[in-house]
Structure 1
Amino acid sequence: MVMTDQDIEQANGRMTALRQTGHAVMARYDEQRDRVIVSLQTGVEITFPPHLAEGLSGATAEALSEIEITPSGLGLHWPRLDADVYVPSILQGVFGSRRWMAQQLGAQGGKARTDRKASTSRENGKLGGRPRKHA
C-alpha cells in the first residue's frame, strides 16, 4: 500500500482531533487499589481495574507498574506484558479487541441467572436436555 502526502496529512488531522478529546499525560498502577490510573491533559483522571483490559488480567503488580505512554498520548503500553490499550477506546468503555470484548460479554451473559433462563432450561430438560456425562 502506497501512502501519499495527502494520506499522511489526513491521518495527522485525525490524530489531532482525537488528542483534543483527551490524551494521556501520566499513567501509573496503584497496587493498593488494584487500579490503573490515567491522567489526561484535560485534568480528568480515569481509573480501571486491570482485569478489564485485554492483556492485563492476571499480571503481576511489577509488570503492571511499568507503563509507557506513546508520544501522541493516545496509547498505553506495558512492555513486560506486550499489551497495549488505546486511550480513546478507554473513554468509550472499550478495553480490548472486538473479539476479546465479545468473549467477555458472552462470559458475563453465560453467568447470568434469571427466572426466564431457569424456566427455559427446565423446558429444555423436559425435551431431553443435554446428554448426561458418563464417568
Structure 2
Amino acid sequence: MVYELSDAEIDAARERGEKLRTAAPEATAARFDPSSGRLVIDFANGATFMLPARTLQDLENATDDELASVEIEHGYALRWDRLDVDFTIPGLMGGVFGTAAYIAGKAGRTRSVAKAAAARENGRKGGRPRKATS
C-alpha cells in the first residue's frame, strides 16, 4: 500500500522544519584560524562561536593543515576526515571537548602557581593527607 501525503501535510512538515531550523541555528561555515589556534564556527543567524582547537580530544597534536581540513556535516557537526574525528556543535558549545575520561584527565592536570605551591607544601608535610576511614 502506498500512502500519499496531502498538500496540507507537506506544508505542515515544511513549517515544522523551518521552526526547527530557526530554533537551533545552523552552522554555515567552519574554519581554523592558525594565528589564534581557534576553530571559528559561523551560524545562519549571524552568530559566531570560537574555541581553542587543540583542547579537543584527538586534536591536541594535529598540525595546522590537519585542523584546517574541518568540514561541517548537516549544519550540526564538525568532521576532520583525515583524522577520523567528529564533534557535534551543540556538544562543543556545551563544553564537551571529549569523552568524560579525557575531560577528567585534563582537569586533573591543570597547572597554576597556587596549585604548584600547594603541592610543594604538601610534599614538605609528607605528601597528600590520607583519606579518613569510617
Question: Unaligned regions of 5+ residues in structure 1, if any?
Answer: 1-12, 128-135
The percentage of aligned residue pairs carrying the same residue is 27
Choose between structure 1 and 2 for higher RCO, CA contacts under 8 A separated by at least 6 residues.
Answer: 1
Which consecutive segments of 4 or more residues in structure 1 shift more than 4 A?
16-19, 109-112
Taking structure 2 as the reference length, the TM-score comes to 0.68
- Structure 1 counterpart of 2:13: none
- Structure 1 counterpart of 2:10: none
Q: C-alpha root-mean-square deviation of aligned residues, in Å?
A: 2.9
User: How many angstroms does 1:123 deviate by?
Assistant: 1.3
Question: Unaligned regions of 5+ residues in structure 2, if any?
Answer: 1-15, 130-134
1:38–1:46 CA contact under 8 A, matched in 2: yes
Task: Count matched residues.
Answer: 111
User: How many angstroms does 1:115 deviate by?
Assistant: 4.8
- Structure 1 counterpart of 2:94: 92
- Structure 1 counterpart of 2:105: 103
- Cα distance in 1 for residues equivalent to 2:22 and 2:85: 21
Taking structure 1 as the reference length, the TM-score comes to 0.68
- Cα distance in 2 for residues equivalent to 1:111 and 1:79: 39
- Structure 1 counterpart of 2:59: 56
* Bigger radius of gyration among the two: 2
Query: Residues 14-56 of structure 1: CA distance to partner in whole angstroms, max 9, x if unpaired?
Result: xx86972433211011122221111122321111221111111
